[in-house]
Amino acid sequence: MSVSHSSRLNKLVREQYMRLPQDGLVQVTYVWIDGSGEGVRCKSRTLDKEPKSIEDVPEWNFDGSSTAQAEGSNSDMFLVPVRMFRDPFCLDPNKLVLCEVLKYNRKPAETNLRHTCKKVMDLVKDSHPWFGMEQEYTLLGINGHPYGWPDNGFPGPQGPYYCGVGADKVYGRDIVESHYKACLYAGVKICGTNAEVMPSQWEFQVGPCEGIEMGDHLWMARFILHRVCEDFGVVATLDPKPMTGNWNGAGCHTNYSTEEMRKEGGLKHIEAAIEKLSKRHDYHICVYDPRGGRDNSRRLTGHHETSNIFEFSAGVANRGASIRIPRQVGQDGCGYFEDRRPAATPMRSLRPS
């Protein structure tokens, strides 16, 4: 197996130091999105006491010229704490803190899409928008080849791997279960996980979350995933089509509802929302991956449980449609709908439709 050198270090030696007392001091790890809009960065500092709320965590700064977010001549960027989690790596009382990034003039950095998103969520807060997001990802060896695949070949065709059990059907379950437990410990609203259709591909679900909380919990779940994979010496890629050929891609299916949709008779509100989405299909495709649709074009082919990127469609229990209405929702006449178009990679924008 192709794993990183650092994963082969003696972890028992590390545990000797991790058990040392902190004498009331607290380690806080600041997490932010870098200039790619896809990667996460982090750094840590010591606080004199355990923060009880996000207001207790001070702003900080970093060198934006080293994260593709600033010029070297004016490189200081501000880290503004927005949500706090327990630290599953250093354990209590230490914290993980998700941050927004501001430029030198206190304006949002170009990749700080949370700033605009929160304004939108505040405008529609009376609708109580709920989100549940299904983050697919693929485990790779350090050489970029899917973890567990033959070094010079391919596994058997898709079919036995989805929700599979057994050493010949799933690869990397230790990583997946470690990530799940770490998220639960941290307070991330993770609600499930399963092996996906392509071997070495997995999915975790986050939600239901209301408003801006959705993005915060999803991004922290992604950060924790990358950190867990770092410990195991492998890589988690969110590429929407990591392997060409007859293999499924990776998406971030988004389940959505408002209070009206969840009430009796809510199906008519779901159908009205789908009608609005149909009129802005091209725009949404451009923002459903960070490269204006180019990433998703490799995935949304009309095959492998996807819709065609050039056509909008909707249907009950149809996983080949742009928008799926779950069968139970169709029967109950209320609930939610699933947008199956977003790529596994982070979105380019979150502007209102």
Cα torsion angle, 100, 103, 106, 109, sign:
negative
Residue 195: phi, psi to the nearest 5?
Answer: -70, 145
pLDDT tens-digit series, residues 291-327:
899 999 999 999 999 999 999 999 999 999 999 999 9
Three-state DSSP class for residue 220: helix
Average pLDDT, the chain: 95
Q: Identify the CA nearest to 319 among candidates 330, 333, 304.
A: 304
Whether residue 93 has a cis bond before it, omega within 30° of 0: yes
> How sure is the predictor about 346, in pLDDT bands with cuts at 50, 70 and 90?
confident
* 105 pLDDT more than 50: yes
> How sure is the predictor about 351, in pLDDT bands with cuts at 50, 70 and 90?
very low
Sequence ranges of the domains in the chain: 5-115, 126-339
Task: Name the E strands within the chain.
Answer: 26-33, 40-47, 60-63, 76-86, 95-102, 130-140, 190-195, 201-210, 235-237, 252-257, 314-316, 323-325, 337-339
Contact yes or no for 98/42 (Cβ under 8 A): no
The Cα–Cα gap between 121 and 226 comes to: 28
pTM (2 d.p.):
0.96
* 352 pLDDT more than 80: no
> Under CATH, what is the fold of the domain 5-115?
Ubiquitin-like (UB roll) (3.10.20)
In the prediction, which pLDDT does 353 show?
41
Contact yes or no for 175/232 (Cβ under 8 A): yes
The residues near 167 (Cβ < 8 Å, ≥ 6 apart) are: none
* 195 pLDDT more than 70: yes
What CATH superfamily classification does 126-339 receive? Glutamine synthetase/guanido kinase, catalytic domain (3.30.590.10)
In the prediction, which pLDDT does 152 show?
87
> How sure is the predictor about 347, in pLDDT bands with cuts at 50, 70 and 90?
confident
